[in-house]
Amino acid sequence: MGNRPSGPFRITFVHAPDRLYSEVQNNGVIFMPVWAYTLAAHLPGDGRTVLALVDTRFIDADRIAEAELFLYSGVNQDTDSLLSVHDRLKRRFPRSVHVLGGPICWSFDQAGELERLAAFDHLVIGDGEAEIAPLAARILAGDRPERVIRARERFPLAQARPMHRGLMDATVGRYYGAVLEVSRGCPFLCEFCDIRILPDNNRAHCAPSALIVAEIDHLCSLGVGTFLLACDNFIGDPRWAEEVVDALLAWRERSGYRPVFYTWLTINLCKYPNLMRKMREAGFDNLFIGVESFDANSLLETAKVQNSAAGVVEAVRAIQSFGFPVMAGLIFGFDSDTEASFDTTIDGLLRAGLLSGDPSLLTALPGTPLYRRMTLAGRIRAGKLGLGGHKYHTNIRYLLPRDTIIAGFMRFSRRVCDGGYQVARLTAFLDNLNRGHYVPVSGKGYFDPRLALRVVRNNPQALRLTLSRLWAFARRPANLWHLARGAVLTAGRDHIPGRWGYFLVWFAVWSTIVVKYRGLTEADFDIESVEEPLKPAHILPEGYESVEGERIPLNKSQAQRRETARSLQALIERKGIS
């Protein structure tokens, strides 16, 4: 760093997400960088440092002020944006130190590709809460820490601190709502999921319910009414989930606040009707659930036993009957998928009454059993280390022919954007609320147009995105006709409190996919398939069932491998491959 200027040591958190991925995935709304507020709380507040937060969705990188230390975080899809912002800051402030952490570092490390992040001075692998203060102290003292810093163990979320009040209070108002990390880890072992491979992450690590309520109370006092409770699986520990919901219910009674919540969880929520009722009473509105597929063979292949056991369509209908709009994660490209899978998905979305369901193509995330299987089978290709994206570029070779996947995906995209199909989905969702379970959420729903307008009004880039989205939707007169049909349909369901909130969810999701799939062509797909003839080793390679080196209870790893191997062996037999 050389001789730095006298005065406090300046640390700037740089949030530089890929705009298209972050905003299209979130239906056009902008969420706060919870990682920065969280890590800032673990820096000493002794006056020796001055903290700042910049979000490149609001400020151009060329306007970022100088700092001695720049801290970045992101996911794989943010790679190009992070590198671009880093390069611009490094040219302007050559003496500054640049540190990158977060999921991107873990994933690139698992893939053996950390050199792709070589531009950064230091990389932090794993949870950063316990590492940030010692790292900053060494840099402040003029020391040179090792380039790659590995967290020795998972940070105990039971010891989580309140988010940094100064940074959060000054900036939270520009976002759609607040994000609060409440738990980490998931007890399930889906073959493609990288949650399972983090150390000791095959169980729930939960923040104290009292801290969660205190954070929500403080944010509500600042005028926040919409919350995303970030986690790998909110019901990873059902007893803790119920404890949190009970604490929220008691707090609502004594505080008078009525916020709404969105969170991620698994489809086995359908087994807990009393918890679902209380979640609605506590203000839980939208839920993200990894549905993945409506084909039982594809679910069994990836050991998604919680979905196959529940029966996807009826499980989703049971959950939505309480009033939750489920945002469904979907995947095309499982080995068990067929040419009919794309149409099966269209049918499944309608039968389940899902308002949302935007698929990605299967990607092998480094460190997962799927990545190991694809490697052993010789099916890994160069590709982005992430799911989805506007341009479909993945790192595995599929069993389905490339042309079949592209034709099926494009057929899906056209059908799912069709206004008549969209009205049918809205009808199915509203009809499902008549099963006697419906619990209205008090206050505004999670999709609040006035809040969204306030956010985009203060962000020219977000405003342009919103206007572009509305124009893309409105330029087709048929869309406006079917939107009017949806409005008339909703108006006629006056026995459903909060029905206009569902109408807004439906429109937000529909208009988002219209933008995402606008102009989609074969050129948007950079994918490959296995060359014929297929061999058994392409599907179930020798050595796949070995679980050596996995930091998961042995019996669970073996059970996942057996379930996947049994399903893949049945696939080999169905295809008659020898």
The Cα 198–Cα 203 span in angstroms is 11
Which of the residue ranges 95-99, 240-244, 363-367 would you say has the lowest mean pLDDT?
A: 363-367
Q: Determine the average pLDDT of the residues in 416-425.
A: 98
Are the C-beta atoms of residues 216 and 180 closer than 8 Å to each other? yes
Q: Tell me the residue type at 328.
A: A
Q: Which of 35, 44, 49 is nearest to 82 (CA)?
A: 35
Q: Peptide bond before 533: cis, by omega within 30 degrees of 0?
A: yes
The predicted-structure confidence for 210-251, as pLDDT tens digits, reads as follows 999 999 999 999 999 999 999 999 999 999 999 999 999 999
Q: Which residue has the higher pLDDT, 90 or 176?
A: 90
Are the C-beta atoms of residues 200 and 247 closer than 8 Å to each other? no
Name the CA radius of gyration of the chain, rounded: 24
Q: Name the H helices within 111-235.
A: 132-140, 165-171, 209-221
Q: What is the mean pLDDT of the chain?
A: 91
Q: Which of 116, 112, 127 is nearest to 159 (CA)?
A: 127
Q: Determine the average pLDDT of the residues in 443-457.
A: 74
Left, alpha or beta for 373 (phi > 0: left; psi -120 to 50: alpha)? alpha
Percent of the chain scoring above 70 in pLDDT: 94
- Give the CA distances from residue 9 to residues 35, 37, 70, 549, in Å, rounded to whole numbers and listed in that order: 20, 18, 11, 42
Say whether 15 sits in a helix, a strand or coil. Answer: strand
Res. 466: pLDDT tops 70:
yes
Q: Name the H helices within 389-491.
A: 402-417, 419-432, 449-457, 460-474, 477-491
- Give the CA distances from residue 363 to residues 322, 389, 393, 516, 528, in Å, rounded to whole numbers and listed in that order: 33, 11, 9, 19, 12
Supply the pLDDT for residue 24.
53
| pLDDT band of 286, cuts 50, 70, 90 | very high
The Cα 348–Cα 358 span in angstroms is 13
The predicted-structure confidence for 486-530, as pLDDT tens digits, reads as follows 999 999 999 999 999 999 999 989 998 998 898 899 999 999 999
β-strand 326-332 against 260-265: which pairing, if any?
Answer: unpaired
Supply the pLDDT for residue 257.
96
Q: Which of 523, 526, 528 is nearest to 538 (CA)?
A: 528
**Phi and psi (nearest 5°) for 81?**
-65, -45
CATH class of 9-150: alpha beta
Res. 3: pLDDT tops 80:
no
Supply the pLDDT for residue 1.
42
Establish whether domains 9-150 and 176-578 are of one fold.
Answer: no
**Phi and psi (nearest 5°) for 118?**
-65, -15
Q: Determine the average pLDDT of the residues in 328-348.
A: 97
The Cα 356–Cα 316 span in angstroms is 12
Supply the pLDDT for residue 462.
67
The CATH architecture of the domain made up of 176-578 is Alpha-Beta Horseshoe (3.80)
Q: Residue 282 CA to chain centroid, in angstroms?
A: 23
Token output for 330: 């979907």
For residue 318, what is the DSSP state?
A: H
Are the C-beta atoms of residues 64 and 12 closer than 8 Å to each other? yes
Percent of the chain scoring above 90 in pLDDT: 76
Are the C-beta atoms of residues 312 and 291 closer than 8 Å to each other? yes
- Give the CA distances from residue 262 to residues 1, 177, 301, in Å, rounded to whole numbers and listed in that order: 43, 10, 29
**Phi and psi (nearest 5°) for 546?**
-70, 135
Supply the pLDDT for residue 136.
94
The Cα 210–Cα 247 span in angstroms is 7
Are the C-beta atoms of residues 405 and 333 closer than 8 Å to each other? yes
Q: Which string of DSSP letters, residue by residue, matches 274-308? A: HHHHHHHHHTEEEEEEEEE-S-HHHHHHTT-HHHH
The predicted-structure confidence for 14-52, as pLDDT tens digits, reads as follows 999 986 655 555 555 678 999 999 999 999 988 889 999
Res. 554: pLDDT tops 60:
yes
The Cα 230–Cα 226 span in angstroms is 13
Res. 306: pLDDT tops 60:
yes
Q: Determine the average pLDDT of the residues in 428-441.
A: 96
Q: Determine the average pLDDT of the residues in 308-327.
A: 92
Q: Would you list the domain boundaries of the chain?
A: 9-150, 176-578
Give Cβ neighbours of residue 142 (< 8 Å, ≥ 6 apart).
1
For residue 32, what is the DSSP state?
A: -
| pLDDT band of 2, cuts 50, 70, 90 | very low
Looking at the DSSP bridge assignments, the partners of residue 129 are: none
β-strand 205-206 against 183-184: which pairing, if any?
Answer: antiparallel
The predicted-structure confidence for 155-212, as pLDDT tens digits, reads as follows 999 999 999 999 999 999 888 889 999 999 999 999 999 888 888 888 999 999 999 9
For residue 380, what is the DSSP state?
A: B
Say whether 543 sits in a helix, a strand or coil. Answer: coil
Give Cβ neighbours of residue 501 (< 8 Å, ≥ 6 apart).
285, 441, 444, 445, 446, 447
